[in-house]
Structure 1
Amino acid sequence: MTASSRGPNPEPPAAVDRETEEVEGPEETPGQETSDGAAPEIATDGEAAEAEAEAEAGKPTEAEAEIAAQRELRERIERRKAEKEGPIESGTKLSGRAADLLAAVRAVESGAKPGSAFYDSPAPAPRPSAAVVSPPARETAPRAPERAAAPGGAPETVAAVRRVLAEGGAPEGFAVRAAEVLGEQAADALREDPWRLLSVPGVRPEQADGFARALLGGACGPDDERRAAALVTWQLEGAALLGHTALDSAVVRGGLAERSVPDPGSALERAIADGAVLVFQEDAEELVDAPEAQEAQEEASQAPDEGTEGPVEAAAPAPVLLGLDRYALAEESLADGLARLARSGADARWEAAEDGELVRAVAASGLVTHIGGEAARAEPVALAGAAGALGLRAVVAVHSERGRRAAGPAAVTVAGLLSGGEGPGRDGDGALALDLLVVLDAPLLDVESAAMLVESLPDGSRLVLSGDPGQLGSAGAGRVFGDLLAARVCPGVVSRTPDPGPIGELVSGIGVGELNQVAAPGKEIVIVPVRDAGEAVHRTVQLVADSVPRAIGVPAEQTQVITVGHGGSAGTRALNAALKQRLNPGPGRFGGFDPGDRVAYTAAPGRTRPGTVVSADAEGLRLDCEGEPVTVPRARVESALRHGWALTAHQAAGMRWPAAVVVLPGDAARGLSRPWVYTAFSRGERHLSVVHGVDQALPRAVAEIGAQERTTRLRPLLEGLLAGASE
């Protein structure tokens, strides 16, 4: 590709001829244009900023909607928790391990003693080996139309909640979601503790405070213990939307202070004592309880070293982490399950397979990681085929219907495998009836889904997690693939298969922080510079509707637009409105949708399904999701559906289209990062158009801004369980 430069007011873009509207003219590499403007501050990820904006507007964000969709999964996790450890009744005096943990956090935060041990989980009971059974034949009959679950509880529950909300001056639109979250006794729960409204997605602390003042009157105050507990949980749930499974206690305490809690330290201690949150220690060794040991530590920290004039400065204590029990249980359960697989010895059944690095790794260990780009996906798929040739039961799992295309028709989705709707079924012990599970796009696994998946694997089976660590992470909490790679507790295979063509070359450079100049003789990559967001929207519509179909031969329905966020002058809302007007104009008489509209259906946490509106009736909106009929109840249309001509990179992760148009208006600069650019630019198989309006922010993001950090516990848990297991 040839470089070109432009000033603040460039000439009309040459990448698209204004008369023919064909993709032609000089090609440019993103990031090679010069600008004298100051670099904008990169404050946060675009998705996170968008989520905050929607939350302030009182509307549930997409991530919050996805979290709400995990209710069924939470219930199953809670049942496992009840079996694993009895609950601590709220308000009772703690004893045993819980009391030790509370004492530890008080001592560490006060500086009285150094970091203590992990919140260790008891070793899981041995699991019986799975019986060897023949895999059932895959069902060939068409599946029944999928129907999304109707939201909310019984009508009388919703009505009761609506009355309480009206008394407190809260929007009655929260009624359905409150009934979903709080259950049949939602109305009574809100009267008893108005701050429980904060557990409803989309509610802000200011709204909950106003609701509490209206219901409680003079009994309402900023120091109310119920308020502090709700704020602690709200902070941790908000952190989960950004991928964290825990938070530093200092961060939580600071958040309480910002919300005018009079004594944040004491309030946090009460929340811990009441069991609202759990306490963990990072990078610690052993809980010190003996008075003699504590005294020795204090003396050692105060004793001057020879040759010094003052006391030796004690090492900084390990951070005290706080987490919600559902993420704690999932992370501990996942660590136990991964350790169980990693401890599996060699499997002689693989000796007859054709030699190869991945085959050797799987033969030696029950847990293997595989790193590679799009082209490398064929390697773990071939491994599953080799397992089938040996008479072993193998399954390849993906995250979407589009992901299934690259993995072959026999592949299943992770959600379908967990629900039992897809895959080989389960054996007599309730484990999945298979010998090998390959999960593609492993970075998209959140900690709760991964825990459910690993718990379902029988002893002696093999798990291969394959993916590209350069892409965006999961929509849910956790950093499963990244933590596993960092722990280095199992064999890892790095593919040497490069992604082909100019797009593959461009994306490979982005992965190492370089925005390279790439030759694209077949117009595989075209850059369309724009001055402002309005021109960005106009050029995007022109590319999708005319230029790409004419010059590249990819029709509009096979071209996907990708942008940084939902809001803004060139976010998904603005782009979808413009694309609908051009490609499928209509009044939106079915909840804002018309037959023929492209939609993005949030079917499960972190899983966006592209589809097309077919019709609507009394039951709801009927979709065609890539050949599968889906009915979305009317009450769920607003929360589960968006128009889908334009998606965010997070929504598009794990899917590819023949052509992709990536839109980068000027206000998108603060949301750019290397993983975002890497993911967005790699969604097009044959063609990539970049509507470029961010000047030097693009190469700066690729070179300097890495993945957003996530606070998780999986890596140290794995390292502790498998110390010395691998190099």
Structure 2
Amino acid sequence: MSTEPEPASEDTADTVDAGPETPGTANGAEPDAAGGEVPADGTEVPADGRAPDAEAAAGEAGDAGDEMPAGQPGGASADGGGAAAQVSEAEAELAAQRLVRERIERRKAEKQAPIDAGTKLSGTAADLLAAVRAVESGEKPAATVFDDPEPVPRRPAPEPVRQPRPTPAEATAGPTGPAPETVQSVRRVLAEGGAPETLAPQTAALLGEGAEEALRADPWQLLRVGGVRPEQADGFARALLGAACGPDDERRGRAVTVWLLEQAALAGHTALELPRLTATLAQRGVPDPDAAVQSTLAEGEALAFQDALEETGARQDDTAGGAEGTDEDEERPVRVLVGLERYALAEESLADGLARLANSAPKQDGSAADWERAAASAQGSAADLIRAVADHGLVLHTGGEASLAEPAALMHTAHALGLRAWAAAPGPLGRDRFAALLGDPSSAPQPPAPTAPDVSVPAGPAVVTLAGLLAGAEGPGRDADGALDLDLLVVLDAPQLDVEAGALLAESLPDGARLVLAGDPAVLGSVGPGRVFADLLAARVCPQTASRRPDPGPLGELVSGIGIGELGQVEAPGKEVVIVPVRDAGEAVHRTVQLVADSVPRAIGVPTEETQVITPGHGGAAGTRALNAALKERLNPGPGRFGGFDPGDRVAYSPVPGRTLPGRVVKADADGLHLSCAGEAVVVPKERVEQSVRHGWALTAHQAVGGRWPAVVVVLPGDAAQALSRPWIYTAFGRAARHLSVVHGVEQALPRAVAEVPAKPRTTRLPVLLAPQVPVEG
């Protein structure tokens, strides 16, 4: 590694106003999927930008947009409820799969009876356990998950009828909002309670036609709006209810419980352990946390679960007063979890779908001799992958950037055998990168197996985005049974798969299909809740193949070392890695602009438009806002005539939570902001620009996952030290293909994070749900 001298250049760090900033430092605002952030308010934010756990998340805003002003009963910024519109757009985008979602909500298979355990529990856990069993026995009302009729077993899928591939839908505006009269009535009640009237559209969209009556009957319903926090909902409730408002109000207890579970989902958890949830409720001023949880369960706003624990290594604090003995005649210890229904149903449906794939024999496409001949012609671990896919319906593949050649070899083999094989990436950057790799003849095994004459295989690189595949806008479409019309699906960047997308995907695959989940387990996890890829790797319920292809060059050596917790010096004779020390955040912005606009194009030969800046968060003096303001002033100055944007601006567009599309501004007119994203025209309505479009010269690591650029500048100002972790650094440094510049102001925090700060754990139920369904492979 080398240190580059500072070239002469003007300081442009403070020339453009980036808009209102959330108070905090660079580490305090990692993006959510909507392109917004969880604002910093004094709580520590981990390197992956999500609340570390329910306690920390409880101090954070729950959605994209800026935090509601402190001290106002219901004050909030105009964009505080952006996620509501975004969630609606996500549902509209996946409207073609409503049948699949209904199948998920009905639960595909009857679950086993509850574990007959817990008699040794006491106190809070015993009371909750009694409440759960009362629900199960019919003594109390229950959510539909407990009492749905047993679904009809899935029938074997017939041979699919090939349908024409659907053409991508034209970009459209967001879904129709609530009725104007509903919005107006909500605006009146918000004003009466001292809350900003700008919250009216998203509040009306969340609560429906009776929104005004719902708010008057239960003012804490305002807490469901993104960006609203408990203390602000309390102020709103006091203004409406007067003396009748109190901290022991049952409505408040339920609302805060649901809010905490939503914050936990933002942190990646699909459920919370009961002691942790009740402790956090107490910290939030709920006098009787146990009663609040039980009330939430009785109203069907959350679900409770009893998960059996393995006695070996089981933690005593996983149960409240759990069994201490280890004799065979003693009960197996359990832990009680509480989670939101949507994630519980998704995780159970995902487990069902994965078990179906793992336990069923794949469709016999090609003879065993054909598969073996293709494997023998492949190189190294690509042969292992081909052999595993030949005999199994579910296979995991791990490796770094170089390992993508192995799924590419598998795709060539599958096409040569006549399989309808497709690959899906989370975003267009990953899709286009893998499509280019597939188009390289050197990635195909030689000689190929003969193609089956009676099967139509995709023409050209069969690579799509995951959202486009599920929505029917890209890929093979669906067969007569409603399943995806394919034989093999390879999911790239699989660590980005959350439980909801995973459930939709598993339910959409036909019987006899093969699913390969491929990715690098060392990168940052999914933006949505769950850890699907990591849970499957840990559960060992299907074959796993690990790539033996190392990432080449100094960059590959550097990133590989980070993956095992070592930050070492690497020889970089071609300036592949350059360290640029800085003293403060202002200098970090200044040097970053110099690198992008001058040093990297001049010394490395990478154009400015092919250089990507990555920084830990949106806020702070060297966050994406400040960096993008300075980079815009230098690279594309303009007045920002449309919401701060001008034609030619580089942007990051987030149509729905969990997706970031890089693009450029084309023009703006009465229809909205016209973008070009991955070669496709997108029109963003004016009212959605502020909450879904950001400048994109600088991104966070979460936004950059799945992308790869010739040159990357990673900015690490001193106030970002608390945001760093091994997965964050591994992800950010690994986005560079030819050159990496590190604007370094965190001193020893960088090697310390690589060596000592692993990924933050997430609480999920997928391993427990898989254990009784899928036999463990040796």
**TM superposition score normalised by structure 1:** 0.85
Q: CA deviation at 1:136?
A: 4.6
User: For 2:560 and 2:698, how far apart are their aligned partners in 1?
Assistant: 24
| Residue number in structure 2 paired with 1:726 | 777
- Aligned pair 1:223/2:239, yes or no? no
Whether 1:387 and 2:414 are equivalent positions in the alignment is yes
Q: How far 1:112 sits from its partner (Å)?
A: 11
Is the CA contact 2:498–2:531 (under 8 Å) kept in the aligned structure 1? yes
Q: What aligned pairs does 1:93-132 form with structure 2 within 5 A after superposition?
A: 109-110=125-126, 125-132=152-159
Deviation, structure 1 residue 257: 1.3
Tell me the amino acid that sits aligned with residue 382 of structure 1: A
Could you list the per-position Cα deviations for residues 378-406 of structure 1 after superposition, in whole angstroms to 9, with x for gaps in the alignment?
21122122111111111100111111122
Q: Which is worse superposed, 561-570 or 260-269?
A: 260-269
Residue pairs, 1:424-463, within 5 angstroms: 424-463=476-515
Inter-CA distance 304–432: structure 2 relative to 1 (3 Å threshold): closer
- SS at 2:525 equivalent: coil
- 1:9 aligns to what? none
Residue 366 (str. 1) matches residue 393 (str. 2): yes
Q: Which residue of 1 aligns with 2:273?
A: 248
Whether contact under 8 Å (1:64, 1:202) holds in the other structure is: no
Relative to structure 1, the CA distance from residue 276 to residue 553 in structure 2 (aligned partners, 3 Å threshold; closer, same or farther) is same
Matched, 1:183 2:199: no
Which is further off, 98-107 or 77-86? 98-107
**For each residue in 1:131-160, what CA deviation from the matched residue of structure 2 results, as whole angstroms up to 9, or x when unmatched?**
334655656x7x454234147322222222
Say yes or no: does 1:701 pair with 2:766.
no
- CA distance in 1 between partners of 2:115 and 2:420 (Å): 47
Alpha-carbon distance between aligned partners in 2 of 1:693 and 1:603, rounded to the nearest angstrom: 34
Distance 1:539 1:123 in 2: 63
1:609 corresponds to which of 661, 664, 681: 661
Give the direction of change, closer, same or farther, for the CA distance of 1:564–1:228 in structure 2 (3 Å limit): same
- Residues 173 and 685 in structure 2, CA contact (< 8 A), matched pair in contact too: yes
Paired with 2:748 and 2:85, the residues of 1 have a C-alpha distance of: 34
Equivalenced residues, count: 666
Using a 3 Å threshold, how does the CA distance of structure 1 residues 45 and 187 change in structure 2: closer, same or farther?
farther
Q: Is the 8 A contact 2:117 2:333 kept in 1?
A: no
Are the counterparts in 2 of residues 246 and 321 from structure 1 also a CA contact under 8 Å? yes
* TM alignment of 1:591-670, pairs within 5 A: 591-670=643-722
Task: Specify the SS of the correspondent of 2:771.
Answer: helix
SS in 2 for 1:282: strand
1:195-594 mapped onto 2 (5 Å cutoff): 195-284=220-309, 317-345=333-361, 347-350=363-366, 351=368, 352-353=370-371, 354-355=374-375, 356-408=383-435, 409-594=461-646
1:371–1:467 Cα contact (<8 Å) kept = yes
User: Are the equivalent residues in 1 in contact too, given 2:178–2:208 (CA < 8 A)?
Assistant: yes
Name the CA shift for 1:552/1:151 in 2 (closer, same or farther; >3 Å): farther
Alpha-carbon distance, 1:475 to partner: 0.6
Q: Separation in 2 of the partners of 1:707 and 1:631?
A: 37
Cα distance in 1 between the residues matched to 2:120 and 2:229: 32
Partner Cα distance (1:443, 1:15) in 2: 35
Q: Counterpart in 2 of 1:36?
A: none
Relative to structure 1, the CA distance from residue 591 to residue 357 in structure 2 (aligned partners, 3 Å threshold; closer, same or farther) is same
CA drift at 1:555: 1.2
Following superposition, the deviation at residue 720 of structure 1 comes to: 2.0
Question: In the alignment, residue 48 of structure 1 is paired with which amino acid?
Answer: R
CA contact (8 A) 2:652 2:660 kept: yes
Deviation for aligned residue 1:98: 9.8
**How many angstroms does 1:436 deviate by?**
0.3
| Kept after mapping to 2: 8 A contact 1:135/1:393 | no
Range moving further from structure 2, 456-465 or 185-194 = 185-194
Paired with 1:579 and 1:315, the residues of 2 have a C-alpha distance of 63
1:715 matched to 2:767: yes
> What SS does structure 2 have at the residue aligned with 1:708?
coil
* Residue identity matched to 1:369: L
2:743 is aligned, of 665, 668, 691, to: 691
Q: Relative to structure 1, is the Cα distance of residues 82 and 663 closer, same or farther in structure 2, using a 3 angstrom cutoff? A: closer
Q: In 2, distance between residues paired with 1:262 and 1:655? A: 47
- 1:61 and 1:669, CA in 2 relative to 1: closer, same or farther beyond 3 A? farther
CA–CA separation in structure 2 for the residues paired with 1:386 and 1:130? 24
Q: Give structure 2 stretches of 5+ with no counterpart.
A: 11-42, 70-75, 137-144, 312-321, 376-382, 436-460
Q: CA deviation at 1:108?
A: 6.9
- Contact 1:108–1:317 (CA<8 Å) still a contact in 2? no
The separation in 2 between residues aligned to 1:148 and 1:683, in whole angstroms, is 32
| CA separation of 1:713 and 1:521: change in aligned 2, threshold 3 A | same
Partners in 2 of 1:254 and 1:105 — Cα distance? 18
Q: 1:455 to 1:671 in 2, by over 3 A?
A: same
- The question of whether the paired residues in 2 share the 8 Å contact of 1:483 and 1:714 is answered with yes
SS of 1:47's equivalent in the other structure is coil
- What's the CA shift string for 1:44-77, capped at 9, x where partnerless? 3362369937445545498888666545569958
Hey, what does 2:318 align to over in structure 1?
none
Q: Matched residue of 1:528: which SS?
A: strand
Asked whether the 8 Å contact 1:524–1:688 carries over to 2, the reply is yes
Contact 1:151 1:635 in 2 (8 A): no
1-side partners of 2:187 and 2:501: how far apart? 33
- CA gap of 1:530–1:122, structure 2 versus 1, over 3 A, is farther
Say if 1:101 and 1:279, in contact at 8 Å, map to a contact too: no
> After TM superposition, which residue ranges in structure 1, 4 or more long, deviate above 6 angstroms?
61-66, 96-108, 111-124, 300-305
- Letter matched to residue 426 of structure 2: H
**C-alpha deviation, 1:284, in angstroms:** 4.5
Which residue in 1 is equivalent to 2:187? 162
Residues 382 and 99 (structure 1), Cα distance of their counterparts in 2 relative to 1, 3 Å cut = closer
Q: Please state how far the C-alpha of 1:603 moved relative to its aligned partner.
A: 2.0
Q: Do 1:431 and 1:458's aligned partners in 2 also have CA atoms closer than 8 Å?
A: yes
Using the TM superposition, name which of 339-348 and 166-175 deviates more.
Answer: 339-348
**Structure 2 CA distance for partners of 1:68 and 1:667, relative to 1, 3 Å:** farther
57-66 or 510-519: bigger deviation: 57-66
Counterparts in 2 of 1:566 and 1:242: CA distance versus 1, 3 Å:
same
CA RMSD of aligned residues (A): 3.5
**Contact preservation (8 Å) 1:130, 1:433:** no
Q: Which residue is 1:16 aligned to?
A: 5
- Whole-angstrom distance in 2 between the partners of 1:253 and 1:673: 29
Shift of residue 236 of structure 1? 0.4
Preserved contact between residue 371 and residue 493 of structure 1 (Cα < 8 Å): yes
Give the 3-state SS of the residue equivalent to 2:308 in structure 1: coil
Deviation, structure 1 residue 721 = 1.3
Normalised to the residue count of structure 2, the TM-score between the two structures is: 0.79
Question: In the alignment, is the contact (CA less than 8 A) between 1:375 and 1:499 conserved in 2?
Answer: yes
Shift in Å at residue 323 of structure 1? Answer: 0.3
Aligned residue identity for 1:701: A
Q: Tell me the SS of whatever aligns to 2:772.
A: helix
Does residue 46 of structure 2 align to residue 44 of structure 1?
yes
Cα displacement (A) at 1:124: 6.4
1:151 and 1:176 in contact (8 A); partners too: no
Aligned sequence identity (%): 60
For 1:373 and 1:103, locate their aligned partners in 2 and report how far apart those are by CA, in whole Å.
Answer: 48
**TM superposition shift of 1:606:** 1.4
Q: Deviations over 1:436-470 (max 9, x none)?
A: 00000000011101100110000000000000000
- Equivalents in 1 of 2:254, 2:397: separation in Å? 42
Structure-1 separation of matches of 2:707 and 2:218? 43
